Chains A and B, each alone.
Chain A
Amino acid sequence: MRAKVFTIGGLSAHADQPTLLDWLANFREPPRHTFLVHGEQPVSEAFGEAICERLGWEVAIPARGSSVIV
Chain B
Amino acid sequence: MELSFLGAAGEVTGSCFLLRTESVRFLVDCGLFQGGREAAGKNKRALVSDVAQLDFVLLTHAHIDHSGLIPRLWSLGFRGPIYATQATIELLSVLLPDSAYLAEATVARRTRRGGRAVADQDSTPLYTVAEAAEPAAAGMRRDFRGISGARNARPAHRRWRSQRDDPR
Q: Which residues of A contact B (CB under 8 A)?
A: 13, 35, 37-41, 44, 61-70
Interfacial residues of chain B within 52-99, with CB under 8 A of chain A in the complex = 61, 63
Cβ distance A70 to chain B, nearest Cβ, rounded Å: 5
Interfacial residues of chain B within 3-24, with CB under 8 A of chain A in the complex = 3-12, 14-15, 17
Chain A CB within 10 Å — which of B5, B7, B12, B17 has the most?
Answer: B5
Q: Which residues of B contact A (CB under 8 A)?
A: 1-12, 14-15, 17, 61, 63
When the two chains form their complex, are residues B2 and A63 in contact, meaning their CB atoms are under 8 A apart? no
Interface of B is mostly: loop
When the two chains form their complex, are residues B6 and A41 in contact, meaning their CB atoms are under 8 A apart? no
When the two chains form their complex, are residues B10 and A41 in contact, meaning their CB atoms are under 8 A apart? yes
Chain B CB within 10 Å — which of A40, A41, A63, A67 has the most?
Answer: A67
When the two chains form their complex, are residues A37 and B2 in contact, meaning their CB atoms are under 8 A apart? no
A55 to B52, CA, bound (A): 41
Chain A residues closer than 8 Å to B10, beta-carbon distance: 40-41, 44, 61-64
Cβ distance A9 to chain B, nearest Cβ, rounded Å: 16
Chain B residues closer than 8 Å to A70, beta-carbon distance: 1-3
